[in-house]
Structure 1
Amino acid sequence: MPSIFSKIIDGEIPAHVVAETTEFLAFLDINPLTMGHVLVIPKQEIDYIFDMDEESYFGLTLFAKIVAAGIRKAFPCIKVGMAVIGLEVPHAHIHLIPLNTMDDINFSRPKLHPTDEELAEAALKIKAQL
């Protein structure tokens, strides 16, 4: 059964895409921890990030590094944090989150609920920096 991320890749579900290659996709989390929170995924449907072959794994990590640089410019912060949890969606993904405090990457705190317009604006800010 395709994951929600596979449906985003296939265009069945809209997303605020900030970067894309033939192998990878980066888009905004619709319920972010902080504005600028991006999900980076392989287009290949694979559940567990450490089951990826080495070339794909390193490619995903390099792609995430490039996107993180754009996030940091678009949303000035101390650092961009990276988290791999993988329990909420059965599709390998990396969270990139602008950080100014340790609490910014606390997944147990309430998420933000930005409007579609706010997400579109955030995506444009990041794209402009890539």
Structure 2
Amino acid sequence: MATVFSQIISGAIPGRFVWADDVAVAFTTIAPIADGHTLVVPREEIVQFIDAPTDVLAHLVQVAQTIGRAQQQVWDSPRVALVTAGFEVPHLHLHVLPAWDEQSLTFANARHDVPAAELDAAAEQVREALRAQGHGDHVPARLTDPAV
């Protein structure tokens, strides 16, 4: 059975995409710890990071770094966090989010009541920053489309 992330990638479940290439996609989470909280996900279903081929994992980290730079530009955070947990979905994903301190980097701080318009706006801010930084060729034409 396809994971929820595979269903998002296929378009069966809606997502807010900020990045897409042949190996990975990135979309904002519906339960952000911070504005712009983005998940970088391989298109291939890989359960956890230790199962990923080295080249795929390296690519995911490179995409996460690029998205992190965009997030830092938008929200002016002192740091950008990269978290690999993966207990909630058995499909490798990297959490990338603006960070102000370590205490705020807990999933207990995830907000489940963010209005859709605010989630859309945060995703669009990341998309705009990625375009401004020269990565427009990897920003999907539409927020809800995982293709470039």
> 1:112: how far off?
4.6
- Aligned residue in 2 for 1:8: 8
Distance in 1 (alpha carbons) for counterparts of 2:106 and 2:98: 12
SS at match of 1:74: helix
Distance in 2 (alpha carbons) for counterparts of 1:104 and 1:112: 16
- Aligned residue in 2 for 1:22: 22
Moved more, 101-110 or 26-35: 101-110
Amino acid at match of 2:55: E
Say if 2:29 and 2:39, in contact at 8 Å, map to a contact too.
yes
Q: Relative to structure 1, is the Cα distance of residues 89 and 43 closer, same or farther in structure 2, using a 3 angstrom cutoff?
A: same
Amino acid at match of 2:81: G
Distance in 2 (alpha carbons) for counterparts of 1:87 and 1:23: 22
SS at match of 1:14: coil
The correspondence of residues 66-105 of structure 1 with structure 2, limited to 5 A, is 66-105=66-105
SS at match of 2:64: helix
Amino acid at match of 1:84: T
SS at match of 1:124: helix
**Cα deviation code 1:40-81 (max 9, x no counterpart):** 100001111111111111111111111111111112211110
The gaps in structure 2 that reach 5 residues or longer are 131-148
The gaps in structure 1 that reach 5 residues or longer are none
Structure-2-length-normalised TM-score: 0.83
Amino acid at match of 2:18: V
Aligned residues: 130
Distance in 2 (alpha carbons) for counterparts of 1:109 and 1:123: 19
